[in-house]
Amino acid sequence: MAHIYLASPHMSEEGYEQQYVKEAFDTNWIAPLGKNVNEFEKELAAYVGAKDAAALSAGSAALHLALKAAGVKAGDIVFCQDLTFSATANPIAYEKAIPVFIDSDYETWNMSPEALERAFEKYPDVKAVMPVHLYGLPANMDRIMEICKKHGVPVIEDAAESLGSLYHGQATGTFGDYGIFSFNGNKIITGSAGGMFLTNSKEDCEKVKKWSTQARENAPWYQHEELGYNYRMSNVIAGVVRGQLPYLEEHIAQKRAIYMRYKEGFKDLPVTMNPYDGQNSQPNFWLSCLLLQEEAMCPQVRSDTQALYTPQTGRSCPTEILETLARYNAEGRPLWKPMHLQPLYRMHPFVTARGNGRGQSNAYISGEMTDVGADLFARGLCLPSDNKMTTEQQDQVIEIVRACFR
């Protein structure tokens, strides 16, 4: 079977990306500034409805500078979604701040408003809150924003995976004080790298642009009064992403079709797809994910680097499905491993809807465990979601997964 990717770059047939890149070469603007950078900032801000944008080298760079714009300093507490990629949490560590990880809920797989409220009870002096729109499916921004406004705490939206997603008709990345997008190689539009910082504060956006170019002051010489970074987006990369922006809606339609075909193909299996609120949200369906029902799980154990399982008739597990897909040259991957389970962050606080999420395995604690993120990680996986995948290839993927339950 021909190789089926999880998610790979998809250049336009018209070659707009090459035109903008050629323009950068022809005008000799091979630098972290230029027409492509300027125009892409304007075009993306207009597309999502933000007032200002700063094109940066990566989504993680945008998160880092958003934390600085929010005034986060060493020793400050930042509430961070637990079920996410490490690039969400790492910028908190860059500033020597303290991440407190907030559990997800089953309804969205994103930050639990109930856990967030518990976190505010325990850590009232928090400096910022960082929800994520996981796999392109919007978080419950109504409740998250309501809670954060009540406490007067700024919100930094990690919308790295959700460009084009809407919640109540509003673009993700524009609800909080700051939002970020990523254009990494597997995102819904890509420049191989790159990120975007979004805000409605022109003053904060200008600060971010200054910090991203080594914080040079307005002087005849190189004058520096604060720490800066080499975070500005390349004019070449901006040309690539700018050339793809007109095709974002087409990519979303392709991703949605993939999700719906999977949903139909698995409707009689003991599984569900990653959830979304069909009445209030329009996801970009970046990655289609599968969650096995508890009773459908065969025994599976994982160490920090390895996984083992025991095959059982009529049951399966993420490890078996992913290994079987790999044998047929199809890419999948586990869901994100929650941050509170990562060796790097195992000593940091973790809050669930019941309160403190650490030490839940203690035999003297009554009631059930409520570690939603760990449960999703144990039972979930990401399916091949490449928008160049043919229907025939997807049918093969569906059949491979179905065979794992026989």
Please name each of the domains of the chain with its CATH number: 16-247 (3.40.640.10), 248-358+367-403 (3.90.1150.10)
Mean pLDDT confidence for 109-116: 98
Using the predicted structure, report yes or no on whether residue 347 has a pLDDT greater than 90. Answer: yes
Using the predicted structure, report yes or no on whether residue 369 has a pLDDT greater than 90. Answer: no
Using the predicted structure, report yes or no on whether residue 363 has a pLDDT greater than 50. Answer: no
Are 176 and 53 within 8 A, CB to CB? no
Q: For residue 355, what are the contacts with CB-CB under 8 A and spacing of at least 6?
A: 118, 122
User: pLDDT value at position 366?
Assistant: 54
Using the predicted structure, report yes or no on whether residue 364 has a pLDDT greater than 80. Answer: no
pLDDT band at 368 (very low <50, low <70, confident <90, very high): low
Q: What's the predicted TM-score (pTM) here? A: 0.96
User: What's the rounded Cα separation, in Å, for the pair 276 and 281?
Assistant: 7
User: What's the rounded Cα separation, in Å, for the pair 211 and 26?
Assistant: 29
User: pLDDT value at position 367?
Assistant: 56
User: What's the rounded Cα separation, in Å, for the pair 330 and 6?
Assistant: 8
pLDDT per residue over 72-92, tens digit each?
A: 999 999 999 999 999 999 999
Using the predicted structure, report yes or no on whether residue 365 has a pLDDT greater than 60. Answer: no
User: Lowest-pLDDT range, 25-34, 97-106, 108-117, 356-365?
Assistant: 356-365
